[in-house]
Amino acid sequence: MKVALLQTDARDDKAANLRQAEALIVRAAAEEKPDLVVLPEVFCYVGESAEGKQAAAEVLPDGEAYAMLRGCAARHGMFVHGGSLYESAGGKLYNTTVVFDRQGREIARYRKIHRFDVTTPDGRSFRESAYIEGGREIVSYQADAWRIGCTICYDLRFPELFQALLRQGAEVFVVPAVFTLTTGKDHWEVLLRARAIETQTYVLGCGRIGAFGNGKASYGHSMVVDPWGHVVARMSDQVGYVTARLDRAYLENVRAGIPLARHKVL
């Protein structure tokens, strides 16, 4: 399977963000013909205000972002893992991944479980729970011969979620993110590689790049990590995409060499 990770610079203009994302999907499809395209977390809207997030939210399966992702999947005959978008449902706001198959059919929907409520070392405060409802369901899906597990950003710090997805048969994890520059420079690669090593899977970390509000910035550095923990593809500090091929024989060799699944006692 060939994968393409799109690295966008979403701001507080949803229409412009969708144009940027669609243009990158079209470019990647034409130049690389990937089987799976992945977008970053909240690729439709990155802004400070709760009102802006609510205005950008979609009632699925309606909405411009949903239609764009579905259309791109069908037109280009590829799986589209739609990073995440703001979903409005039952009077609540969710941070939600939607995935489409090669025919443009929705095959997975995952609501972010772990919410980012921290004060970073530089003193900046983030309170995702102030406006986002946490999800409850653990979600994976089938993309051709691969089982893919859904996570979003802060979920990366909770290995128990990855272990639960591993029990569902996951061989690939997708991690769309808006990692902060402060945490990203020290933790992003380390965590992606750790999750890959301990689960013996491919991990696709797809990040947003750029500044947003009050001097905050996203780390970017989208990358593909193989089941041995090697970074096999990495995006530079710009908008664009990076591609890699997932090798099933290599994954099986890694699992055979160190048979973690057989050695588990808990």
Whether 112 sits among the annotated catalytic residues: the reply is yes
pLDDT given for residue 120 in this prediction: 75
pLDDT given for residue 116 in this prediction: 87
Catalytic-role residue among 112, 150, 171, 216: 112
pLDDT given for residue 212 in this prediction: 78
Query: Residue-wise pLDDT tens for the chain (266 aa)?
Result: 999 999 999 999 999 999 999 999 999 999 999 999 999 999 999 988 889 999 999 999 999 999 999 999 999 999 999 999 999 999 999 999 999 999 999 999 999 999 988 887 777 777 888 889 999 999 999 999 999 999 999 999 999 999 999 999 999 999 999 999 989 999 999 999 999 999 999 999 999 999 976 778 999 999 999 999 999 999 999 999 999 999 999 999 999 999 999 999 98
Whether 31 sits among the annotated catalytic residues: the reply is no
Catalytic-role residue among 41, 58, 87, 171: 41
pTM of the model: 0.96
Domain range list for the chain: 2-263
Fold type of domain 2-263: Nitrilase/N-carbamoyl-D-aminoacid amidohydrolase (3.60.110)
Catalytic-role residue among 44, 153, 206, 216: 153
Whether 44 sits among the annotated catalytic residues: the reply is no
**Residues contacting 234, CB < 8 A, separation 6+:** 221, 222, 223, 224, 242
**Residues contacting 36, CB < 8 A, separation 6+:** 1, 2, 3, 4, 78, 79, 80, 81, 143, 148
